[in-house]
Amino acid sequence: MANLDLPIGIVTLLLGIYMLSFLRISLSDLPLQSLWRVSQAPAKKAAHVEERETPGGSIEKESHFSSSWWEDEKIHQLERRAIFSKTWHYAAPLSVFRKPGDYLTLSIAAFSIFLILGKDGQLRGFHNVCRHRAYEVTRKECGRSTVLGCRYHGWSYDTLGRLTKAPEFEGVDGFEKGSNGLWEVKVRVVGNGAVFVNLDAGDVVEMEGMEGVEAEMRGWAFEDCEKVERWSVKGAFNWKLAVNVFDDCQLSSSKNAISWLWFLIKSLYKNQHPQIVHAWPLTTLHYEPYNNSWVSIKLIPSSAHKTTIQCELYAQRGSTRQNHGPIIANLKNGISTKLQELETAQNEAHGETLVMTAAQISHQERIHALLKAHLKLERVQGGEVHPAARQQSFSQMGKKDDDLCRQLEDNLTSIETTDEKGSFQSNSLDW
């Protein structure tokens, strides 16, 4: 009888692990719209929650945020000034910048910036705005060039952001190249190579939340990774609905219980477990230490009711898309499902007050507090405060030339194309 104890114990252990994996799958399949209403009350009361009834004693309640909170464009513009312009945003792993001139163009809530590795080995960030007439300096998603220039007027910059060439301004009295370099963006490298940026033009920026992120990401293997796949999907929803809702988008190739069982056994054997970091407010990062792969899920709001979800999967250098095909397919399916749920929640927010959990209300109240504080600052200063803004003056001289260039830009738009991977392709003048 004693000889049977070990096999029975093993079977019992495996059965327990199987049930845990099944529970994990079941919880991850809950739709977002139900998450707004799931109460922390006992299960008997939760059934009433699905019917929008608020059981006594439950922490579930109607939020005090009306439909305008999710739809008002003025609120969205305030969010750009009060939040997106002043918080640290995850950008990319440092390892993608391998040679001088390697650059990456980013969009953060309609702010266009780019990161570039200098000849001195230093990574820098700049607003993607030419100092002459405010046209974009980089138009491609990524590339390599130690000299970047505006394609219309020929102003050129080096990897340090310094103006090196300004046709028709050479020798002009009062014009200084040193005062017309690109506007720099603050860059911070966290842990083993996660790059964050901050758009705040002030000398001192807040570090709220960064300490926790740095601690959580310590040990993540960013040093020798490369991008496996990047994709984006556009959605008709307010970004605030999606704060921290991507936790169940795991780096798993299958929701099959046996796959989860094998994954869990490997994790226990290596004493390594998947990790999730919320780079508040716009990014969720998932890390799988067992095979050093990770994914970033970014929100890119463009208006009060339009947000793009951008996903990037990274793995150890030398990995191929074929190796991660099932994982990519699973992630894309998960994101697609989330998108549908978010758009449904956006529709439900129209004309009614959403019923939310305490955790969801806490996120909204945090955002509300930041907006309220910024509004107070604007009242004191007597006007809108744009932390990311830089002063750029345009003289009347050259306005005709500028109008011509803008017309040229409109004409060129019709011939711009994308390659089969979705990367921007145009003509030889693009950087």
> What residues pair up with 309 in beta bridges, in sequence order?
233, 299
C-beta of residue 151 within 8 angstroms of C-beta of residue 429: yes
pLDDT of residue 195: 96
Check residue 199 and give its pLDDT. Answer: 96
Helix (H, G, I), strand (E, B) or coil at 221: coil
Q: Which of 411, 427, 391 is nearest to 139 (CA)?
A: 427
Q: Which two tokens stand for residue 255?
A: 């929701």
Q: Closest Cα partner for 181 from 165, 198, 197, 203? A: 165
CA distances from 416 to 204, 231, 402 (A): 40, 19, 21
CA 239 to chain centre: 11
Backbone angles phi, psi at 356, to 5 degrees: -130, 160
pLDDT for the residue numbered 380: 97
Per-residue pLDDT, 154: 84
pLDDT of 90 reads 96
Q: What is the pLDDT of residue 422?
A: 40
Q: What is the DSSP letter of 195?
A: E
For residue 278, the tally of other CB atoms under 10 A from its CB is 17
H/E stretch holding 258: helix 257-270
Contact at 8 Å (CB) between 335 and 244? Answer: no
Q: Which of 220, 186, 211 is nearest to 91 (CA)?
A: 186
> What pLDDT is attached to residue 32?
34
* Per-residue tens of pLDDT for the chain, all 431 residues: 555 455 555 545 655 654 554 444 333 333 333 323 322 333 332 222 233 443 333 334 455 788 899 999 999 999 999 999 999 999 999 999 999 999 999 999 889 999 999 999 999 999 999 988 778 999 899 999 999 988 777 899 999 999 999 887 777 777 888 888 999 999 999 888 999 999 999 988 888 778 889 888 888 878 788 899 999 999 999 999 998 889 877 665 544 454 445 455 555 544 467 789 999 999 999 988 777 788 999 999 999 999 999 999 998 887 666 678 888 888 999 999 999 999 999 998 876 767 777 888 899 999 999 999 999 999 999 999 999 998 654 444 444 455 545 555 555 444 444 444 443 333 333 45
229 Cβ contact partners less than 8 Å away, ≥ 6 residues apart: 311, 312, 313, 321, 324, 328
348 Cβ contact partners less than 8 Å away, ≥ 6 residues apart? 33, 354
Q: Is the dihedral of CA 284, 288, 294, 295 positive or negative?
A: negative
What is the structure's pLDDT at 303? 96
Interatomic CA distance for residues 95 and 75, integer angstroms: 37
Residue 14 is predicted with a pLDDT of 55
Distance from C-alpha of 125 to C-alpha of 198, rounded to nearest angstrom: 9
Classify strands 156-158 and 163-165 as parallel, antiparallel or unpaired.
antiparallel
- Report d(CA 73, CA 236) in Å as an integer: 14
pLDDT, position 115: 98
CA gap 296, 277 in Å, rounded: 10
**Alpha carbons within 13 A on the beta-carbon side of 72:** 10
